[in-house]
Structure 1
Amino acid sequence: MAEPRLWAAFRELSEKATRTDLTHAFHPGQPHFPAFPDETRHMPFDMARGDGFNVHLYTIVGQWGTHVDPPSHFVAGARTLDEIPVEEMILPLVVLDITGRVDADPDAVPTLDDVAAWEARNGPIPAGSFVALRTGWGCRWPDAAAMANRDEAGVSHAPGWSADVLRHLFEEAGVTAIGHEQTDTDPGLATSAGDFSLELYVLERDRWQIELMANLDRVPEAGGLIVATWPKPQGGSGFPARVFALHIDDRPIVPT
């Protein structure tokens, strides 16, 4: 009897593909948006106290650790977490890498030249893809001071997206979602001034994003898949996500 096609595809993928976790483990005291309360957790049932099982009670905001922002995070009446279909949770993965510039200038953002260079190497960015911005900022986790990187005046110097690149990705390339290593979509200079207009732009397009991604330096810039999933709270405006990549290491990771 012939092996079912999906089982055969899974077996081939299991034998050839690398799985890379793109998720930080969350915990109390981790870096987070300053206005949010810290995580608290306790154990109403604890085997160390003689109970028959362990149960943790977690108190967190939805935007905690590696997390998903649905459109409703910034846009009243927009799609909530339970309204994002599973068809959007497995996507081609594109990685835009600006780590070299960020090493020299923490305020660096991606440019259309970065997009053009990526496309010269790999072809057009696929419609319906997930585009992750690699900045090297994930290596600073979980040091809150290093993530914020504030100067003596309290201004954050951290990379973010740019309006030109986001407009190209959503209005011309037609991507489904974006993600990044840093805390915010907008660069630190903007968020320090209370400007979150780039995040608003993304969510107003009825798109979603993953923030605080990990291990983007371990995946190729093209050819991989991303699997992004999260719990399904009815009407939810954000939640910690579990995100990983599948990639076959037949292309080198582009050095920075």
Structure 2
Amino acid sequence: MTFATEAFVTLLLTLLAICCEGLKYVDLSYVVSEESSHWPSVTPFSRQVVARGYTREGYWNEHYSFCMHEQTSTHLDAPCHLAEGKWSLHEIPLNHLMGPGVVIDMRDKVAGDANAELSTDDFMTWLEEHGPLPDGVIIFIRTGWSSKYENIEEYFGTEATNTSYFNFPGLSVGAAQLIVSHEAATGRRVFAVGTDAPSIDHGPSEDFKAQQTLFEANIYGIESVANLDKLPTKGFGIIAMPVKIRGGCGAPVRLLASLPEANGISSSTAATFGSQILLALTLVILNGS
């Protein structure tokens, strides 16, 4: 790097640090382990000890091999999961993995119907009450289903592996269509839809049509999200970092929310500005290397 490039990188890093000041963070991911939630019909997480102990040279050496399905614990579903030719994990643009977040709370509806769906009316009512969605938004649907996460039978609503017996809430096809059309109507993009339930579609769905609708528009999904109860309705930033698997249709994701401390910078502003700084840093380093 030239001296000018190094100076510019230092400036960008300083600005990034300023963005992070005054923020607190919430971990929205569950731990990946042998107890992790997973689709009942697929291979659960398991691991095998490769080495664990002191070597002949006297230092500690510990590492494992593991096996699991893509959709284990808190995970990101790439659009290619249910839409042929759409983005796989490694193709999702970096700037689509971070941005402002909002929470749509449908717990009252779920209390009366375990298989309730977030409808177009519910979505429009939320917009009327809370204002327009920010550009590049990541929408979270809070169903309250996270309270059942540690019991896989309660979480999926059945002991059976047959999906026709599943019982949990989700997003309606109509609301998914409304989300997809949001950019054309407003100019503001929706990057992802997440839920604290096992799937974006509700339990009885046999064709996962809501996800198909989102994924055809390269809007990815995040399922089994933790700690939505610790987030406000809006005014926070999101960073979603899945394992970068080439051609992958899904992977566990480390999902972080950033919230402003008292008198701190707006987290949605920090997320947007921070993502721009990170992209600028990447370009500078690549061009300078």
The aligned residue for residue 100 of structure 2 is 92
| Residue 47 (structure 1) shift | 1.9
TM-score normalized by structure 1?
0.86
Q: 2:181 is matched by which residue type in structure 1?
A: E
Work out the CA distance in 1 between the residues paired with 2:213 and 2:124: 22
Which has more radius of gyration? 2
More helix by share: 2
Could you list the per-position Cα deviations for residues 52-103 of structure 1 after superposition, in whole angstroms to 9, with x for gaps in the alignment? Answer: 3110211111111111111111223321111112111111101100112212
TM-score between both structures, scaled by the size of structure 2: 0.77
- Give ranges in structure 1 of 5+ residues lacking alignment: 251-256
Q: Which amino acid aligns with 1:186?
A: D
Deviation at 1:12, TM superposition (A): 5.3
Shift in Å, 1:8: 4.5
Matched, 1:7 2:21: no
SS in 1 for 2:50: strand
1:135 Cα deviation from its structure 2 partner: 0.6
Q: 1:168 aligns with which of 178, 202, 217?
A: 178
Do the aligned residues in 1 keep the contact of 2:153 with 2:159 (CA within 8 Å)?
no
Does residue 236 in structure 1 map to residue 236 in structure 2?
Answer: no
* Equivalent position of 1:36 in the other structure: 42
Provide the rounded CA distance (Å) in 2 between the counterparts of 1:225 and 1:216. 13
Q: Matched residue pairs, number?
A: 246
C-alpha RMSD of the superposition: 2.6
Matches within 5 A, 1:106-125: 106-125=114-133
Matching residue of 1:179: 194
Which sections of structure 2, spanning at least 5 residues, go unmatched? 1-9, 184-188, 263-289
C-alpha separation between the residues in 1 aligned to 2:130 and 2:213?
Answer: 27
Residues 1:48 and 1:156: Cα distance change in structure 2 (over 3 Å): farther
Match of 1:188, SS state, is coil
Q: 1:111: Cα distance to partner?
A: 2.5
Tell me which amino acid in the other structure corresponds to 2:78.
Answer: P
Distance 2:80 2:120 in 1: 28
After TM superposition, give the deviation of residue 34 of structure 1 in Å.
2.0
Following TM superposition, by how much is the alpha carbon of 1:137 offset from its aligned partner in structure 2, in angstroms?
0.8
The sequence identity of aligned pairs, in percent, is 26
